[in-house]
């Protein structure tokens, strides 16, 4: 009786056949793959989460197709622990196994930080989103780290023109950066949160709610202020070589959102 490998070697390898159109495909591979990973977000043990994964390579013009199963084999062989420093090795493995010149990956996943309420100290978990997007080729590996965090913003104009109160809303900040070495995700979150009117919490007792509300009222920021506050910090950080920050306020008194973006141009 033939072994499975013997049967496989006798089968026609359609993907490796010659393609007469001779067109390079920039990216081909697998997308929307859920995969369990462990990721470090700061000091302490790695955190378990589920990543949405995309793995692709550049397909040379002479090949009809790629071998989809090899993407999964490379990912499985890498193991569940994902360190940003290991991403280049994963990409190099894809390049070798798929006989390509260039490979790309994206890992997007939720992660959690425990935060204590500002007055009572009640603990609670707050969720954030992170994304690693990387490309490897002959001249090196490019990695962009993204963190998405929600914050509170209070409108300076509303505060200035109102006898009592001011409208506030939840805002979403997306910070993307390249650095000499990847920054801890928790550090990126802290950078975002201290730039807003207030950070968010999952557990707030009445004394905590009072403190958060008053903090926001004392620190009003436009969406423009929010991106500038973040930009001023990343500009001062010599580890960061490129960055982009977006902020979107889900307005509480308008039927539209407020948006701002600033980016370092090379």
Per run of 10 residues, the mean pLDDT along the chain (length 266 residues) is 54 65 91 94 88 94 82 93 91 94 97 97 97 95 97 96 94 96 94 98 97 97 97 95 97 95 82
Radius of gyration of the chain (CA): 23
Which residues in 24-46 are b (16+ Cβ under 10 Å) and which e?
ebeebbbeeeebebebbbeeeee
Q: What is the pLDDT of residue 159?
A: 96
Q: What is the pLDDT of residue 2?
A: 41
As given in the structure block, the two tokens for residue 248 are 């979107």
CATH number of the 15-263 domain = 3.10.270.10
Q: What is the pLDDT of residue 17?
A: 64
Q: Name the nearest CA neighbour of 56 among 78, 35, 33.
A: 33
Average pLDDT, the chain: 92
Q: What is the pLDDT of residue 62?
A: 81
Say which residues have a Cβ less than 8 Å from residue 246's Cβ, sequence separation at least 6.
173, 174, 227, 259, 260, 261
Q: What is the pLDDT of residue 223?
A: 97
As given in the structure block, the two tokens for residue 197 are 């009117």
As given in the structure block, the two tokens for residue 30 are 């697998």
Domain segments of the chain as ranges: 15-263
Residues in the chain: 266
pLDDT tens sequence across 191-247: 999 999 999 999 999 999 999 999 999 999 999 999 999 999 999 999 999 999 999
Q: What is the pLDDT of residue 12?
A: 64
Q: What is the pLDDT of residue 9?
A: 63
Q: What is the pLDDT of residue 67?
A: 84
- Which helix (DSSP H) or strand (DSSP E) does residue 193 occupy? helix 185-193
Q: What is the pLDDT of residue 66?
A: 81
pLDDT tens sequence across 131-146: 999 999 988 999 999 9
Q: What is the pLDDT of residue 6?
A: 53
Torsion of CA 81, 82, 85, 89, to 10 degrees: 90
Q: What is the pLDDT of residue 1?
A: 39
Q: What is the pLDDT of residue 44?
A: 77
């Amino acid at each position: 009786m033939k072994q499975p490998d013997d049967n496989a070697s006798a089968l026609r390898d359609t993907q490796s056949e010659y393609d007469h159109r001779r067109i390079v495909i920039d990216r081909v591979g697998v997308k929307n793959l859920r995969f369990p990973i462990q990721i470090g977000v700061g000091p302490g043990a790695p955190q378990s989460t589920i990543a949405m994964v995309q793995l692709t390579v550049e397909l040379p013009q002479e090949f009809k197709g790629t071998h989809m199963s090899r993407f999964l084999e490379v990912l499985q062989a890498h193991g569940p622990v994902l360190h940003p420093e290991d991403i280049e090795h994963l990409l190099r493995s894809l390049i070798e196994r798929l006989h390509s010149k260039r490979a790309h990956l994206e890992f997007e996943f939720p992660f959690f930080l425990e935060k204590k309420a500002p007055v009572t100290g009640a603990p609670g978990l707050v969720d954030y989103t992170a994304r690693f997007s990387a490309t490897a080729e002959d001249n090196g590996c490019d990695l962009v780290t993204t963190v998405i965090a929600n914050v509170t913003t209070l409108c300076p104009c509303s505060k200035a023109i109102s006898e009592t109160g001011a409208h506030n809303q939840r805002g979403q900040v997306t910070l993307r950066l390249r650095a000499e070495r990847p920054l801890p995700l928790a550090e990126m979150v802290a950078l975002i949160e201290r730039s807003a009117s207030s950070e968010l919490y999952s557990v707030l007792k009445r004394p905590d709610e009072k403190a958060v509300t008053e903090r926001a009222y004392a620190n009003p920021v436009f969406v423009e202020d929010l991106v500038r506050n973040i930009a001023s910090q990343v500009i001062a950080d010599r580890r960061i070589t490129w960055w982009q920050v977006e902020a979107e306020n889900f307005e509480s008194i308008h039927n539209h959102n407020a948006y701002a973006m600033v980016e370092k141009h090379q």
